[in-house]
Structure 1
Amino acid sequence: MTLPTQPTQPRATTAIDRIANEYTERLLELDPGFATELGRAGHESEYRDHSPAGLAALADAARSTLAALAAAEPVDEVDAVTVHAMAERLGLEVELHETGWPLAELNNIASPAQGIRAIFDLMPTATAADWQHIAERMANVPAAVGGYIASLRAGAERGLVASARQVKIVIGQCERHAAADGFFTTMTQQAALDADPGTSGTDAAGTDASDAGRQLPADLAEVLAANAEIARGGYGTLVAFLRDELLPQAPEEDAVGHERYQLASREFLGARIDLEESYAWGVAELDRIVAEQEVVAEAIKPGASIEEAKALLNADPARQLQGTAALTAWMQQLSDTALAELAGSQFDIPEVMRTLECRIAPTQDGGIYYTGPSEDFSRPGRMWWSVPEGEDSFTTWAETTTVYHEGVPGHHLQVATATYQSALLNDWRRNVSWVSGHGEGWALYAERLMDDLGYLADPGDKMGMLDGQRMRAARVVFDIGVHLKLPVPARWGTGNWTAEKGFEFLKANLDISAGQLDFEFNRYLGWPGQAPSYKLGQRLWEDIRDARAARDGSGFSLRDFHTQALNLGSVGLDTLKMALLG
């Protein structure tokens, strides 16, 4: 298939584009939080309906859109990709809905228990009107929680309940949000307006006028404080339900089995894979990466083991950062440099995409993530680092590759390009479709690309990249192995996988803090199929690139391949293969 790289003029809206755009508008109606993510005005205080009726409405919207697509005719290659991508995504959404498992959605990282609170991270805080919206949404937390409880209860009636391990973890998270010194109280106490740029100096009483201008109006501050208590109460209600009603029904078993795992794998990859073959590949890939690390360790110090080489890197003062302020500044400088040097030389990066903010996340759950820009780029793309409580020391060699993964040429370049391509992509392609294997696979692909481009020539930085790749390969082995109870590779143990064996395996292969290890272990158990999508996605990206290079021969251009691929937006990997290889 021949795809456009940069449109010379806006593409005429087709019937299929209209179907996709109408579906996007329907999603905005059904999920006000989605509008907040996009930076669109309206519905700022509302939540989606997390009840069974709300889930049914989403499934109905998918069904009606699939019917409309089936009756429409693609007019060009862009339409053909849209139809292929939407049929795969929406068809799977309906299939998943019919299993009933969306009713039971609960884990330690990506479920309504986290999302109801997390939406506040994306809400503007500059003006009094912004804080009024925040106050109003806080008042609606109990209703959102109530809908979620109704779904969890309906799922339990069908025998669909997350594992006891996940329920216990989420209870702890929700207790922190419900606490007197939790998120809602802290946000209220720190509430302030952006300084008025026209205000400076001191007033008659000697008070700094710019600081005075930052204070919320007294009546708004009172409403915000009162509604924070309401939000805390909503989470308190969720704690009581989870502890007293759901936990007694939760199974001790973590493994989800082959049938549910296959659906989860499709959800996160947008591709059908052979799970057992992928598991065997993951074992071999892990062995290959370990061997590569041994070569790099030798370069750091002749005769050193991987562990000894990393100890030397950790002891190097030039590679250490103390405190989150130093971490933030270092992330920002590294990100800014990559943006400046790759723009024009390796990638087309429009000026509007050249702002990427690096921040410490307001939570302490662990993990690093990216949030995309608003549609008009008034809110830039942001890289967030959620630092577990008590952790205050960081090493640059271990984290350099993460900055490239989350920023440029990783998620920022990928997500912001899709947002920018309004002349080529319909609303669904730009703003709705996100497939983990495509997105996270690209980010891992980007890490390897930065090595190829010489940005990881330092042996320490390369060891950090390989450590990240090793972690992702180990996750393929752990996730598929534990959830399908497959045999443990001889190098790592005996018998079949259990969660306990898996923890020791992760401990041997993931060089992260104890807090991060605990978070990751529980994440894999509670979110089956997601963690392997990174490395399996990278595998599929590289397979598609290599097949394209073989097909095009001397005419192959890696830069053009990247441009065409990124201009597709995030699609399932089967769709990516169809679009780039035909």
Structure 2
Amino acid sequence: MTEPTGTRQPTAVDAVADTHLRKHAALSPMDATAMGLAGYDHLIDPLDPAQREAFAALNRATLDDLAAVDPVDEIDHVTIAAMRERLGLELELHDAGEDLAELNNIASPVQGLRDIFDVMPTGSVEAWENISARLQGLPGAIDGFTESLRLAASRGDVAAIRQVRECVGQARELAGDGSFFTSFVTGEAARAALGDGQDALAADLGRAADGARAAYGKLADYLETELAPLAPEADAVGRDRYALLSRRFLGATIDLEETYAWGVEELARVTAEQEAVAREIAGPGATVQDAVRKLDEDPARKLAGTDALKAWMQETSDAAIRDLAGTHFDIPEPIRTLECMIAPTQNGGIYYTPPSDDFSRPGRMWWSVPPGVTEFNTWREKTTVYHEGVPGHHLQCAQAVHARDTLNSWRRLACWVSGHGEGWALYAERLMADLGYLDDPGDRLGMLDGQRMRAARVVFDIGVHLGLKAPAAWGGNTWDPDTAWEFLRANVNMPEEFIRFEYNRYLGWPGQAPSYKIGQRLWEEIRDEAKAAAEARAGQFDAKAFHANALNLGSVGLDVLREALTVYPDAAE
């Protein structure tokens, strides 16, 4: 198995996939922007029930079109399997009303309507004309979103009150005097692009920002006065709904009880490994907290200010790309550029946005620094750079975008499965540890710190939403909010504000957080199966070739990934 060479001739299956993507972009200009497709940046999603119905109709039509064409090679087989899994699941979610009622503290239209502006071009007058037009459309999108929530509520589908309240707070912030929208249209990027002679456009941007703020104020009022009284107190979603949502994020069907039990065991294993490293750092009998204190007090591991943080991120990322290219991975030239950014938001998150279709917008790693945070500890975050950069998300996502000689546009740009993507990123962290990049005990403790948090998520998320029994160490009773909170505090080494955000996230976005660690587990299982088969057949396993083949498939559901690397081993060639 080798990396793709030459240009593959598009097939009838590719034509179906490409047509689907074009129609999807027309229905969702915001998705088109996120994918880097030109021509949509001045538009915004309506977010109303009609858009949801239009997506469902498109998915049904595409599945019918797929049934009418025959695959000509293994790449086609994987495309058909991936589209059937993803589009079929989207229809199940639509039929269950999940697409209408989506409301949580991290990944719902409340955040999406703001976040899309982070990836829009800002370097020209035309770019700011697009931003102005999209901002002017935002109040209509808020109205459409409200209409969807009202329809879902009439059917009895309302997010838990905890999520409603979180979104009220976020909407109020975006409506307030310190709103992102105001600072965005008056900030340095706007001033640099507009220069002199664009007073009319600057005025339009100001009015559009005011309109966006007013729309968010209106949304906050609706959520607080109309939706909140209908919201249930219970956070847990129950087995049936959780099973569907788990498949959404994994692209795989798992045994939830077995996975919960594995999560308990994995948490204990990672904790023991972390405690051993802590003793290596701080001496015999030292606790993890002792080691953390010692590392936090080490001036050699501190960064002062966001400029220093950004420079360190860039240096660490660039070094990883240089070292890994040509040795452990084949990294094409366009992928060797990763831009490290300080995010305009301040919620503490760290995330990645992929390059545009033509790579004019590079892949970017974003760090959202909370207000008042001015010092950063490198020992905690070196593993994060590998997670978000190379060999993590950037290598994975940019490789798919780059594979235009073999993959159709839907697979390169549109298909994203959390368990595949986040699972790979955790797999990449462990891989860097195995390759010696985290041999420093402090850096290794940071990696284990993250792995421990991800293992705790599996236990928390499945346990709480399914109403399972907590481990004996946590009382052995059915999970309740208070026990779950103390459990997170004991296993997540972060400031309490961050833990509270994560706590609310897990309660409001069921199935997503466990997809990281479960995805890593499935990636490792698939690799081990491939290794055993290779050793039985040829006596040796080529890890570089395995990784190349896996990444050249793009993001697919994990059941499809397993099939692609076993039943169709040449599907990436």
Distance 1:215 1:318 in 2: 45
Aligned residue in 1 for 2:571: none
Match of 1:79 among 76, 79, 92: 76
2:416 and 2:555 in contact (8 A); partners too:
yes
Secondary structure of 1:555 counterpart: coil
Distance 1:72 1:555 in 2: 38
Distance 2:385 2:470 in 1: 33
Aligned-residue offset at 1:181: 2.1
When residues 292 and 184 of structure 1 are mapped into structure 2, their CA distance, relative to the original with a 3 A threshold, is same
**CA-to-aligned-CA distance 1:12-55 (integer Å, 9 cap, x gap):** 11111100000000101100112211222212221122111100
Aligned-residue offset at 1:441: 0.2
Aligned residue in 2 for 1:558: 543
2:380 and 2:443 in contact (8 A); partners too:
yes
Aligned-residue offset at 1:433: 0.4
Aligned residue in 2 for 1:16: 13
TM-score (norm. length: structure 2): 0.97
Question: 1:485 is aligned with what amino acid?
Answer: G
Distance 2:189 2:543 in 1: 47
After TM superposition, the structure 1 = structure 2 runs for residues 1-12 of structure 1, keeping only pairs within 5 Å, are: 5-12=2-9
Aligned residue in 1 for 2:557: 572
The answer to whether structure 1 residue 289 and structure 2 residue 270 are counterparts is yes
Distance 2:86 2:498 in 1: 31
Secondary structure of 1:310 counterpart: helix
Question: 1:549 is aligned with what amino acid?
Answer: K
Equivalenced residues, count: 563
The answer to whether structure 1 residue 263 and structure 2 residue 248 are counterparts is no
Moved more, 229-238 or 560-569: 229-238
**CA-to-aligned-CA distance 1:322-343 (integer Å, 9 cap, x gap):** 2222111111110011011111
The answer to whether structure 1 residue 532 and structure 2 residue 536 are counterparts is no
Moved more, 539-548 or 44-53: 44-53
Match of 1:55 among 52, 56, 63: 52
Aligned-residue offset at 1:363: 0.9
The answer to whether structure 1 residue 466 and structure 2 residue 448 are counterparts is yes
Aligned residue in 1 for 2:147: 150
**CA-to-aligned-CA distance 1:418-450 (integer Å, 9 cap, x gap):** 000000100111001000000000000000000
**CA-to-aligned-CA distance 1:61-99 (integer Å, 9 cap, x gap):** 111111111121111100010011111111111111101
Aligned residue in 2 for 1:323: 305
After TM superposition, the structure 1 = structure 2 runs for residues 419-430 of structure 1, keeping only pairs within 5 Å, are: 419-430=401-412
Gap runs ≥5 in structure 2: 568-573
Distance 1:178 1:161 in 2: 23
Question: 1:436 is aligned with what amino acid?
Answer: S
When residues 216 and 292 of structure 1 are mapped into structure 2, their CA distance, relative to the original with a 3 A threshold, is farther
Aligned residue in 2 for 1:201: none
Question: 1:250 is aligned with what amino acid?
Answer: A
Moved more, 60-69 or 471-480: 60-69
Aligned-residue offset at 1:193: 5.3
Aligned residue in 2 for 1:302: 283
Aligned residue in 2 for 1:388: 370
Question: 1:224 is aligned with what amino acid?
Answer: L
Moved more, 387-396 or 508-517: 387-396
When residues 215 and 501 of structure 1 are mapped into structure 2, their CA distance, relative to the original with a 3 A threshold, is farther
Aligned-residue offset at 1:537: 0.2
Aligned residue in 2 for 1:159: 156
Secondary structure of 2:340 counterpart: strand
When residues 18 and 49 of structure 1 are mapped into structure 2, their CA distance, relative to the original with a 3 A threshold, is same
Distance 2:189 2:483 in 1: 48
Distance 2:496 2:306 in 1: 18
Question: 2:345 is aligned with what amino acid?
Answer: T
Aligned-residue offset at 1:494: 3.2
Secondary structure of 1:332 counterpart: helix
Question: 1:461 is aligned with what amino acid?
Answer: D
Aligned residue in 2 for 1:141: 138
Moved more, 469-478 or 233-242: 233-242
Question: 2:562 is aligned with what amino acid?
Answer: K
Secondary structure of 1:512 counterpart: coil
2:184 and 2:190 in contact (8 A); partners too:
no
Aligned residue in 2 for 1:203: none
Aligned residue in 2 for 1:233: 214
Secondary structure of 1:321 counterpart: strand
Distance 1:53 1:484 in 2: 33
Aligned residue in 2 for 1:248: 229
Distance 1:337 1:8 in 2: 27
Aligned residue in 2 for 1:42: 39
Aligned residue in 2 for 1:520: 502
Aligned-residue offset at 1:406: 0.3
Gap runs ≥5 in structure 1: 197-212
Aligned-residue offset at 1:240: 1.1
Distance 1:338 1:379 in 2: 21
1:112 and 1:148 in contact (8 A); partners too:
yes
Question: 1:32 is aligned with what amino acid?
Answer: P
Aligned-residue offset at 1:565: 0.0
Aligned-residue offset at 1:536: 0.1
2:393 and 2:421 in contact (8 A); partners too:
yes
2:176 and 2:213 in contact (8 A); partners too:
yes
Aligned residue in 2 for 1:204: none
Aligned-residue offset at 1:311: 1.1
Match of 1:64 among 61, 67, 70: 61
Secondary structure of 1:46 counterpart: coil
Distance 1:261 1:461 in 2: 35
Question: 1:383 is aligned with what amino acid?
Answer: M
Match of 1:478 among 456, 460, 468: 460
Distance 2:281 2:4 in 1: 47
Distance 1:98 1:354 in 2: 42
2:419 and 2:518 in contact (8 A); partners too:
yes
Aligned-residue offset at 1:215: 4.8
Aligned residue in 1 for 2:348: 366
2:29 and 2:44 in contact (8 A); partners too:
yes
Aligned-residue offset at 1:190: 0.8
When residues 216 and 471 of structure 1 are mapped into structure 2, their CA distance, relative to the original with a 3 A threshold, is farther
Distance 2:359 2:475 in 1: 50
Distance 2:441 2:5 in 1: 43
1:192 and 1:216 in contact (8 A); partners too:
no
2:458 and 2:517 in contact (8 A); partners too:
yes
Question: 2:518 is aligned with what amino acid?
Answer: L
When residues 216 and 428 of structure 1 are mapped into structure 2, their CA distance, relative to the original with a 3 A threshold, is farther
Aligned-residue offset at 1:501: 1.0
Secondary structure of 1:18 counterpart: helix
2:386 and 2:428 in contact (8 A); partners too:
yes
Secondary structure of 2:24 counterpart: helix
Question: 2:307 is aligned with what amino acid?
Answer: A
Aligned-residue offset at 1:156: 0.2
Aligned-residue offset at 1:9: 1.7
Distance 1:8 1:281 in 2: 40
Distance 1:573 1:318 in 2: 41
When residues 410 and 192 of structure 1 are mapped into structure 2, their CA distance, relative to the original with a 3 A threshold, is closer
TM-score (norm. length: structure 1): 0.95
Match of 2:90 among 89, 93, 103: 93
Distance 2:526 2:370 in 1: 37
Aligned-residue offset at 1:225: 0.7
Aligned-residue offset at 1:233: 1.2
Distance 1:323 1:293 in 2: 29
**CA-to-aligned-CA distance 1:349-399 (integer Å, 9 cap, x gap):** 111111111111111122111000011111100001112222222111011
Question: 1:416 is aligned with what amino acid?
Answer: A
1:49 and 1:55 in contact (8 A); partners too:
no
Question: 1:525 is aligned with what amino acid?
Answer: L
Distance 1:216 1:275 in 2: 61
Aligned residue in 1 for 2:566: 581
The answer to whether structure 1 residue 348 and structure 2 residue 330 are counterparts is yes
2:457 and 2:514 in contact (8 A); partners too:
yes
